[in-house]
A and B are shown apart, each in its own frame.
Chain A
């Protein structure tokens, strides 16, 4: 992985971790045991990962979607395509963040991860 990608990925990890940490401050979560908190944080992170993919896919047009529909989800080619397509969607970063903020607020208010 090139240094730039590594650096960006580190920033993204830090950002997502900060969102999960924010969720742990929810009223119904803050008093859980550390083990329970760790499990909750992991579920928040996984949910936000799915949310990122969902925001992207819902912005792809037919031709773009066809480029990834039949790829192995865990393949490097999928990662590459996802990245390339995400770069082609105007305003996607802003939309993703709105979605993340919305999800975090929901989790903080309801002390649970939305059912996906």
Chain B
């Protein structure tokens, strides 16, 4: 279409941005528009959040609440892309321009709406007039409900003020939302309707009817007499009282719409630049997050000496907290959606308000879901990655290696949060690595194996080796481990160390620890609080006094490996004597804290294959393990 009017030009650009095919979304019907708005809701989050902030600035209390949501949504918008923010800023600007129109004359809004093909909106807008009280009740009911939910417990004056503030903000948001999607046409019609309604009720107020005084007195007297006679109970009177006060508050809310719509529109119009500044807001939020993650990275590094569950616990808690925040945001947006959803409940306005209500509801719902989902995922990623890395760190041979791995936490976090911004991840990684290196120095020559076993012992695990192996297994099975390994490699290269295994071996040599090679039975030995004794060979091995059937389990599990590798005659191929000797040696090494994957990779695998849980098999059911078994001559 020919575009001369700058507003229409903006509308056209915005429409094409939303529907690149050139399809006129405005003609697809309001329900369709609602669906579309819901779909684009994720992208609209930043702009709507900006509107929320702008409106919030107008009214302190509600503004703060909505502003908080706006900040969260702004961050979400950043993840989606700055370009989208710019487009939506333009769309919102169009809405603001449209919203200004009714206050210059509702007819202009109607004219604009017709140009944009929203005759359906205008055709039904007149019905709003007939149902404004109910509409006002709905708005104010929502407002008072929300205020009640935040625990204000206010006296009526404060409550009324709260209603005014909240409703004013709601009106501001509504202006932004509806203005955005229908180019101000709806706001134009609604604003005109609300002003007209205000004029009418003020006219009612001025009505002078001398005869009515007697009717009023008679009506009130009837209540008193019925109450005096006991027909009306105190609870009945309370109901009536509550209805009157409720309605009065609702009226105050609706009145606030009339009072503040022009003011809000003016305010938003004057601050329309804020919308395009949403990216800046999101950027600031991202910067804050990066700072926080940087600090966290340092904390992780410093905590490397501790290695383990404490870190995981902290991060799990953080994940839950973030999830909780997301839930709160979701509830708030759901509340807004409920408000919008109430609009079409008024008979006769369904076509108008239903479509807009759906649109607004879907936008907010979609935004809430995105924000909530992103935050929850972030929390889960952080919690999961850190927990996994912490567990993995415990299974590594050296504190240095563990520290480096924790340095890789920065990388893991960076990867997880990469969806929320590459810069965040880089910052976290950089700080995390720095902290890790520092922590590595603190960790000294203490072996991670010892630390892991100590942690397991403190946790009261009865299956120590299972705990360690399970941690390694879990770590192996996650992308976080990949990221951590990559970070480990990088960190090691930075420090001039070729491999973690070398570090571990060197450290072992420095510590003067000799490698035990014996297969003699184990005398009563305390391994981190657990008593181990006996021999694998004669199957007298015990753990805390209970039989430890390492040989039996090993035979069975090797059978599983062979079966998985497609080798027939599985069990017959196992040389139990050799297996027992190898397991005896591995167990002896384990009791001495020397059975590490770097020093004894084959025995390490055999030991954990024989002692492992079902989850261990998943990574060992392959031909690599068969090769190890052949190498150890366990297989004939």
B382 CB within 8 Å of chain A? no
* Whole-angstrom CA separation of A69 from B212 in the bound complex: 12
Q: Is the CB of B245 within 8 A of A53?
A: no
Q: Is the CB of B247 within 8 A of A12?
A: no
* Whole-angstrom CA separation of A50 from B254 in the bound complex: 25
Q: Is the CB of A82 within 8 A of B141?
A: no
Write the B214-258 contact mask toward A (1 if CB under 8 angstroms, else 0): 011001101110110001111011111111111111111011000
B155 CB within 8 Å of chain A? yes
**How far does the Cβ of A40 sit from chain B's closest Cβ, in whole Å?**
14
* Whole-angstrom CA separation of A4 from B240 in the bound complex: 17
Q: Is the CB of B240 within 8 A of A53?
A: yes
B495 CB within 8 Å of chain A? no
B538 CB within 8 Å of chain A? no
B303 CB within 8 Å of chain A? no
Q: Is the CB of A10 within 8 A of B156?
A: no
Q: Is the CB of B237 within 8 A of A93?
A: no
Please tell me which stretch of A28-36, A60-68, A105-113 contacts chain B, meaning at least 4 of its Cβ atoms lie within 8 angstroms of it.
Answer: A60-68
Q: Which residues of chain A are near B232, meaning CB under 8 Å?
A: 73-74
Please tell me which stretch of B132-140, B275-283, B497-505, B519-527 contacts chain A, meaning at least 4 of its Cβ atoms lie within 8 angstroms of it.
Answer: B132-140
Q: Which residues of chain A are near B239, meaning CB under 8 Å?
A: 79
Q: Is the CB of B222 within 8 A of A5?
A: no
* Whole-angstrom CA separation of A11 from B155 in the bound complex: 8
Q: Which of B134, B237, B251 makes the CB contact (< 8 A) with A86?
A: B251
Q: For B148, B160, B233, which residue has the most chain A Cβ atoms within 10 angstroms?
A: B148
* Whole-angstrom CA separation of A116 from B226 in the bound complex: 14
Please tell me which stretch of B199-207, B429-437, B552-560 contacts chain A, meaning at least 4 of its Cβ atoms lie within 8 angstroms of it.
Answer: B199-207
* Whole-angstrom CA separation of A46 from B223 in the bound complex: 12
A39 CB within 8 Å of chain B? no
Q: Is the CB of B223 within 8 A of A86?
A: no
With contacts A82-B247, A87-B140 taken as known, whether A73 is within 8 angstroms of B134 at the C-beta atoms is: no
* Whole-angstrom CA separation of A105 from B252 in the bound complex: 25
* Whole-angstrom CA separation of A88 from B245 in the bound complex: 12
* Whole-angstrom CA separation of A68 from B243 in the bound complex: 13
Task: Give the residue name and chain of the A residue nearest to B200 (CB).
Answer: A88
Q: Is the CB of A49 within 8 A of B238?
A: yes
Q: Is the CB of B148 within 8 A of A82?
A: no
Q: Which residues of chain B are near A61, meaning CB under 8 Å?
A: 204, 207, 209, 212
A-B contacts, CB under 8 A, total: 188
Write the B70-87 contact mask toward A (1 if CB under 8 angstroms, else 0): 000000000000000000
Q: Which residues of chain B are near A57, meaning CB under 8 Å?
A: 216, 219-220
Task: Give the residue name and chain of the A residue nearest to B213 (CB).
Answer: A58
Q: Is the CB of B251 within 8 A of A65?
A: no
Q: Which residues of chain A are near B201, meaning CB under 8 Å?
A: 88-90
Q: Which of B233, B243, B255 makes the CB contact (< 8 A) with A82?
A: B243
A85 CB within 8 Å of chain B? yes
Q: Is the CB of A69 within 8 A of B219?
A: yes
Q: Is the CB of B246 within 8 A of A90?
A: no
**How far does the Cβ of B344 sit from chain A's closest Cβ, in whole Å?**
16
Q: Is the CB of A73 within 8 A of B226?
A: yes
**How far does the Cβ of A27 sit from chain B's closest Cβ, in whole Å?**
23
Task: Give the residue name and chain of the B residue nearest to A11 (CB).
Answer: B148
* Whole-angstrom CA separation of A45 from B163 in the bound complex: 24
Q: Which residues of chain A are near B148, meaning CB under 8 Å?
A: 7-8, 10-11
With contacts A15-B156, A65-B216, A97-B157 taken as known, whether A46 is within 8 angstroms of B246 at the C-beta atoms is: no
**How far does the Cβ of B548 sit from chain A's closest Cβ, in whole Å?**
59
Q: Is the CB of A4 within 8 A of B248?
A: no
- Chain A binding surface, main DSSP class: helix
With contacts A69-B215, A74-B232, A87-B137 taken as known, whether A50 is within 8 angstroms of B247 at the C-beta atoms is: no
Q: Is the CB of A86 within 8 A of B243?
A: yes
Q: Which of A7, A62, A89 makes the CB contact (< 8 A) with B145?
A: A7
Q: Is the CB of A7 within 8 A of B149?
A: yes
A102 CB within 8 Å of chain B? no
* Whole-angstrom CA separation of A1 from B584 in the bound complex: 73
Q: Is the CB of B133 within 8 A of A100?
A: no
Q: Is the CB of A93 within 8 A of B160?
A: yes
Q: Which of A12, A58, A59, A65 makes the CB contact (< 8 A) with B245?
A: A12
Task: Give the residue name and chain of the A residue nearest to B144 (CB).
Answer: A8
Q: Which residues of chain B are near A56, meaning CB under 8 Å?
A: 244, 247-248
Q: Is the CB of A12 within 8 A of B219?
A: no
Q: Which residues of chain B are near A116, meaning CB under 8 Å?
A: 224
* Whole-angstrom CA separation of A28 from B219 in the bound complex: 34
Q: Which of A5, A12, A87 makes the CB contact (< 8 A) with B133?
A: A87
A38 CB within 8 Å of chain B? no
Write the B128-168 contact mask toward A (1 if CB under 8 angstroms, else 0): 00000110110011101100110011111101100100000
A9 CB within 8 Å of chain B? yes
Q: Which residues of chain B are near A60, meaning CB under 8 Å?
A: 212, 216
Q: Is the CB of A84 within 8 A of B134?
A: yes
Q: Is the CB of B156 within 8 A of A87?
A: no
Q: Which residues of chain B are near A12, meaning CB under 8 Å?
A: 241-242, 245-246
Q: Which residues of chain A are near B249, meaning CB under 8 Å?
A: 8, 93
* Whole-angstrom CA separation of A86 from B243 in the bound complex: 8
Q: Is the CB of B141 within 8 A of A8?
A: yes
Q: Which residues of chain A are near B141, meaning CB under 8 Å?
A: 4-5, 8
Q: Which residues of chain B are near A48, meaning CB under 8 Å?
A: 241
Q: Is the CB of A50 within 8 A of B250?
A: no
Q: Is the CB of B251 within 8 A of A88?
A: yes
Q: Which residues of chain A are near B160, meaning CB under 8 Å?
A: 93-94, 97
Q: Is the CB of A93 within 8 A of B155?
A: no
Q: Which residues of chain B are near A52, meaning CB under 8 Å?
A: 240-241, 244-245
* Whole-angstrom CA separation of A46 from B250 in the bound complex: 23
* Whole-angstrom CA separation of A40 from B211 in the bound complex: 36
**How far does the Cβ of B433 sit from chain A's closest Cβ, in whole Å?**
50
Q: Is the CB of A65 within 8 A of B240?
A: no
Q: Is the CB of B254 within 8 A of A87?
A: yes
Going nearest first, the 9 A-B pairs with the smallest beta carbon separation are A86-B247, A4-B145, A49-B241, A92-B248, A7-B148, A93-B248, A83-B247, A83-B243, A87-B251
| 12 further interface pairs, Cβ-Cβ under 8 Å (given A50-B224, A89-B248) | A8-B148, A10-B148, A53-B237, A56-B247, A62-B212, A64-B204, A65-B219, A88-B201, A88-B204, A93-B245, A93-B252, A94-B157
Q: List 7 A-B contacts (CB under 8 A).
A: A5-B246, A13-B242, A46-B237, A53-B220, A88-B251, A95-B248, A116-B224
